[in-house]
């Protein structure tokens, strides 16, 4: 299943459904990742946190970042890790 990207009520957060269990619920921030599958997401410029549960992750960006830069990079990471 390809990664499905959806908006959320929070304009600084996007939902990425991967179609397979991701673990959790857990929230990761820089320096607090205990699951190596999520560390590359936090290396993407502008990503401040990752929430994982069920079959999706929600990524939150900082105010200066744009989704145009984050979504393709995050989708690539998630496809490599979960699909």
What is the distance between the alpha carbons of residues 34 and 30, in angstroms, rounded to a whole number? 11
The full set of domain ranges for the chain reads 4-82
Is pTM, for the whole model, over 0.85? Answer: yes
- Strand residue runs (E) in 1-83: 4-7, 13-17, 26-29, 47-53, 56-61
Buried b (16+ CB within 10 A) or exposed e, 16-30: bbbeeebebebebee
Superfamily (CATH) of domain 4-82: Scaffold protein Nfu/NifU, N-terminal domain (3.30.1370.70)
pLDDT by residue (tens digit) across 20-75? 999 889 999 987 767 788 999 999 999 999 999 999 999 999 999 999 999 999 99
Give the Cβ contact number of residue 61 at 10 Å: 22
């Amino acid at each position: 299943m390809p990664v499905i990207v959806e908006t959320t009520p929070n304009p600084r957060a996007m939902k990425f459904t991967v179609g397979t269990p991701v673990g959790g619920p857990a929230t990761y921030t820089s320096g607090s990742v205990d699951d190596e599958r999520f560390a590359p997401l936090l290396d993407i410029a502008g990503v401040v946190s990752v929430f994982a549960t069920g079959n999706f992750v929600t990524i939150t960006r900082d105010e200066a970042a744009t989704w145009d830069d984050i979504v393709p990079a995050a989708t690539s990471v998630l496809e490599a890790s979960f699909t």
